[in-house]
Structure 1
Amino acid sequence: MISGAERGKGGDALARHLLKPENDTVEVLVPRGLGSRDLIGQVRELVALSLGGRTDRPVYHVHCDPDPAIQDNDGARARFWALFEAEFRLGGQPFAGAVHVKHGRRHEHRVYSLVRQSGAVVDLAWDFLRRERCGRIVEYEFGMPSPTPSKHSRAIVSALRQAGRDDVAAWMEASGTTDAARPVARLSPQERLIETRTGVPLDDLRAAALAAWTASTDGAAFLAALRERGLDLRQGRSGPVVVDRTGTAHLATRLVGAAARRADGTRIPAAEVKARLAGLTLQNHGETHGQDRRAHDRSAVAQAPGGGPRDGAGAGGNPGREVAHRGAGGTDADGGRSDRRSVEHALSRLVARPREARLRGRLRLMAPGRNRELAYALDGIRRRDWVWVPGMTDIWGLPITPDGRPRLG
């Protein structure tokens, strides 16, 4: 029994993930405690119900995938959810979900609200270990010959004995799972996302870093060997980082250590990596990012049809391409707009404010170094075609309307 979970904010993207057409079939579950008819509406409702809780991650997305050796897939899933809800005290909590069939395997996704009616948030401490324990019980009860390997096997056996399930604990021990070497995933979930985003296989990166390590005897030689392989070494927040061709940083101690462990089973200690690199003076990672980006932009403009640097009149520029620039007398805060557009944009927001706020704003704008042009424009707005009740004036002695606000023509 394989299970996985992720806590998050919810949203339409999660609902669309559960409805992905790449599955052979998708069967939307009957929700609990929700009134919406479609899955997107149900997930939105889960989020809305959780607004009173003191958490910014109010939903818990969980899936369970029974092993093909279990013939009663539906029964195994029902048993898992019963154990899971009892373990986390989720009985009665609203949820939505779907059952997928993909490549012939039937598995189920559920999205739970983590906020109780009292506003308390469900405790998910050690959730991976607790879900693994539920999975082992299901495997035992549904006749699997041996449990799914887990790096938490010894801790699961201990917890099972404390809970009075000596039968399941003895079955796990008899299978040898508590004595086996702990399985290590090739990639962590975060590393898998980085590999997908950058397109750089982490195994190749590890192999290159290890080759540079073995080909060197000190920090300077290691840096040179990395550069020969298209990599670089910078100073990161947690220590030296190896930078790949996309500019993505990988912690050097972790990269070299994991590469050595996968190569011969012996990890190079982080202290050894730090000691070799201790004498290097490295540039901080990201220190030249802005300059590199500007150089890249200039190169792209030069290589484009009709490329070349643009001046204020647009000479040599790309047809149809606008480049932000400052108007005469403009400031960095103008964002490339002329003074008039800047005044009109700010004025439209000022006019909508209460008159007391407009007065305070005008006084601030008239201060030395402020935008007097905007202050004069605000004054002009005050004096345009007002309708007033005789005898009523504002703090400046100007007539106002019965509702206490200037009426614009």
Structure 2
Amino acid sequence: MEVVPARGLGSATLVDQVRELVALSLGGRTDRPIYHVHCDPEPAIRDNAAARSRWWALFEAEFDLTGQPYCGAVHLKEGRRHEHRVYGLVRPSGRVVDLAWDYPRREKCSRIVEFEFGMPPVPSKHARAIARRLRQDGRSDVADWLVAAGATEAERPIAPLTPAERLGQERTGIDLDDVRRATLAAWRASEDGSGFVAALRARGLDLRQGRKGPVVVDASGAAHLATRLVGAASRRFEGRRIVAATVKARLSSHEFEDGTDAGSRSRAKPGEAGAVAPRDPGGSRAAGDGGGLGVRRFGGCPDRVDRGGGGRDPRGPGAALRRLRALPAVRRAVLRRRLTAFDPTLDRHLAALERVRAAAERIEAEAAYERERAWALWGFTDIWGLPLT
């Protein structure tokens, strides 16, 4: 790896340069003060350094980053030499660089480099929008090249995995394409919701009710929205997508276990609460025997795990107060004593809280001092021309 010369920064190491970029951006109203991007020219381009230089010039002109500080590094990965840069996004005035529509804008820079270095255009779902913008920018030659190559008429490419799906696949170790194939096979082998569930279970999968609709659960327990999974599988392996409405129509007749949620079989059912823990305020009595002083076990409805009321009104504060007032006088006295008894750890917690407050005030004071110092030294340079910070 080779660290590239930084711009507008005085730190020597790459880590310190990134920290300096963040520090320079403290005056901006943003929670993303820096921007990481990399340039990865095609291996067929012989002059890799020239292609990278041209792309960075186009990129900085596109996003108006010409005067912004940055740091970066060049390294070789899988036979391809590419460059990473991290730019500071907060300008000296405090305004933040506009990164709206950054994906198609970066692809526009890439199409220009491909055109100038004699490469075919890389397929892009933004091809038509890029061609329109190129004409607006006076680069009709590049736009005509895109049209002649068929990029604007080609079917939009779809990535086999989203970043979230890729991370999930790495975490579970289960190939998402295998889940898609099995789900599509189960779909084709069935004619209704119950048959689909049976076919899924025969292939090591299951169907549950999720928050946004039915989900297919794989062997690791990961859930995949059924409409999305069937649609992606049919489009990927058959070339034609099964729309979500079709999936919902087939599964609408299927009744999940317990009527609503197939995942509810793993939940505790009324009357199945275990014994009270040794230190539970409810004492040694079982949670379902109607006694104890547990905070959520006063009176109420006996067919609920927490012995509280059901419905909209019984969950409100009025119903809770009525249940507390209905307790026998002895239990109310014991509860009051437990709730108001002196906690010997209270002093320790209060002392820790005061230390945290003092540290926060000290950090805020130091940050205010650094901001004032940065503004006071703005525009001044040392003998080498580097900005003072």
Q: Write the mapping of 1:142-291 to structure 2, written as runs, cut at 5 A.
A: 142-144=117-119, 146-282=120-256, 284=261
Identity %: 63
Q: What residue is the counterpart of 1:124 in the other structure?
A: 99
Amino acid of the residue matched to residue 239 of structure 1? Answer: G
- What SS does the corresponding residue of 1:182 show, helix, strand or coil? coil
Residue 39 of structure 2 contacts residue 84 of structure 2 at CA under 8 Å; is this kept in 1? Answer: yes
Measure how far apart 1:70 and its partner are.
Answer: 1.6
Measure how far apart 1:126 and its partner are.
Answer: 1.2
Q: What residue is the counterpart of 2:314 in the other structure?
A: none
Measure how far apart 1:93 and its partner are.
Answer: 1.6
Q: Write the mapping of 1:59-78 to structure 2, written as runs, cut at 5 A.
A: 59-78=34-53
Q: What residue is the counterpart of 1:38 in the other structure?
A: 13
Instruction: Say whether residues 1:52 and 2:6 are aligned partners.
Output: no
TM (norm. structure 1) is: 0.64
Q: What residue is the counterpart of 1:371 in the other structure?
A: 341
Amino acid of the residue matched to residue 341 of structure 2? Answer: N
In 2: Cα distance, 1:201 partner to 1:176 partner:
33
In 1: Cα distance, 2:99 partner to 2:266 partner:
39
Residue 209 of structure 2 contacts residue 263 of structure 2 at CA under 8 Å; is this kept in 1? Answer: no
Which whole-Å deviations, capped at 9, do the CAs of 1:71-90 have from their partners, x for residues lacking one? Answer: 22111111111111111112
In 1: Cα distance, 2:139 partner to 2:227 partner:
41
Measure how far apart 1:172 and its partner are.
Answer: 1.3
Q: What residue is the counterpart of 1:336 in the other structure?
A: none
Measure how far apart 1:224 and its partner are.
Answer: 1.7
In 1: Cα distance, 2:6 partner to 2:346 partner:
60
Amino acid of the residue matched to residue 60 of structure 1? Answer: Y
Q: What residue is the counterpart of 1:99 in the other structure?
A: 74
Measure how far apart 1:285 and its partner are.
Answer: 7.8
TM (norm. structure 2) is: 0.68
Which whole-Å deviations, capped at 9, do the CAs of 1:204-249 have from their partners, x for residues lacking one? Answer: 0000110111111111211121122121212223221111111111
Describe the shift of the 1:290–1:44 C-alpha distance in structure 2 as closer, same or farther (beyond 3 A).
Answer: farther
Describe the shift of the 1:38–1:175 C-alpha distance in structure 2 as closer, same or farther (beyond 3 A).
Answer: same
Q: Runs of 5+ in structure 2 lacking a partner?
A: 269-274, 284-335, 352-389
- What SS does the corresponding residue of 1:29 show, helix, strand or coil? strand
Describe the shift of the 1:248–1:52 C-alpha distance in structure 2 as closer, same or farther (beyond 3 A).
Answer: farther
Describe the shift of the 1:286–1:223 C-alpha distance in structure 2 as closer, same or farther (beyond 3 A).
Answer: closer
Which whole-Å deviations, capped at 9, do the CAs of 1:287-327 have from their partners, x for residues lacking one? Answer: 57777xxxxxxxxxxxxxxxxxxx9xxxxxxxxxxxxx865
In 1: Cα distance, 2:226 partner to 2:194 partner:
14
In 2: Cα distance, 1:140 partner to 1:376 partner:
70
Which whole-Å deviations, capped at 9, do the CAs of 1:344-393 have from their partners, x for residues lacking one? Answer: xxxxxxxxxxxxxxxxxxxxxx9872232539989xx9xxxxxxxxxxxx
In 2: Cα distance, 1:285 partner to 1:250 partner:
15
Measure how far apart 1:54 and its partner are.
Answer: 2.7
Measure how far apart 1:133 and its partner are.
Answer: 0.4
In 2: Cα distance, 1:210 partner to 1:169 partner:
40
Amino acid of the residue matched to residue 245 of structure 1? Answer: A
Which whole-Å deviations, capped at 9, do the CAs of 1:76-108 have from their partners, x for residues lacking one? Answer: 111111111111112222211110112332110
- What SS does the corresponding residue of 1:372 show, helix, strand or coil? coil
In 2: Cα distance, 1:141 partner to 1:373 partner:
75
- What SS does the corresponding residue of 1:108 show, helix, strand or coil? strand
In 1: Cα distance, 2:127 partner to 2:192 partner:
40
Measure how far apart 1:200 and its partner are.
Answer: 0.6
In 1: Cα distance, 2:151 partner to 2:181 partner:
30
Describe the shift of the 1:281–1:90 C-alpha distance in structure 2 as closer, same or farther (beyond 3 A).
Answer: farther
Measure how far apart 1:36 and its partner are.
Answer: 1.8
Measure how far apart 1:137 and its partner are.
Answer: 0.6
In 2: Cα distance, 1:89 partner to 1:72 partner:
26
In 2: Cα distance, 1:122 partner to 1:289 partner:
50
Describe the shift of the 1:285–1:56 C-alpha distance in structure 2 as closer, same or farther (beyond 3 A).
Answer: farther
Amino acid of the residue matched to residue 94 of structure 1? Answer: P
In 2: Cα distance, 1:376 partner to 1:56 partner:
36
Aligned residue pairs, count: 288
